[in-house]
Amino acid sequence: MRIKTEKDVQKLDAKLKSELGIDVSKYRNPEIAEKFVDLLVFPQFVLNWVLRPITISFFIYLTIFYLFDLSPIMTIVYAVFGLILFLLNGTLFGVLLLLWKMKKDMFGVMKYSLNIMKECTVDLKHVSTITTKENKKETLGLLFLGITHIVTIPMVTEALGNKIPFIGGLFSKLFKKILRLASSRIKFNYDPNKNEIVEDKSPAVVTNTYIRSIDHTIEGLDKFLTTILRVGQFPISMVTLVTISLLGVLLYVVI
241 versus 135: the higher-pLDDT residue is 241
Predicted TM-score (pTM) of the model is: 0.65
pLDDT at 151: 83
Contacts of 23 (CB under 8 A, 6+ apart): 13, 16, 17
Sketch the domain layout of the chain as residue ranges.
6-254
| Per-residue pLDDT reduced to its tens digit, 89-100 | 999 998 888 777
Q: Are 130 and 20 in contact (CB under 8 A)?
A: yes
pLDDT at 44: 61
Q: What are phi and psi of 137, to 5 degrees?
A: -65, -40
Q: Are 170 and 95 in contact (CB under 8 A)?
A: no
- Least Cα distance to 129 among 44, 229, 8, 20 occurs for 20
Lowest mean pLDDT among 2-11, 44-53, 198-207: 198-207
pLDDT at 7: 85
Q: Are 145 and 1 in contact (CB under 8 A)?
A: yes
Please report the sign of the dihedral spanned by the C-alpha atoms of residue 134, residue 137, residue 142, residue 143.
Answer: positive
Q: Mind giving me the DSSP string for 70-108?
A: --HHHHHHIIIIIHHHHHHHHHHHHHHHHHHHTHHHHHH
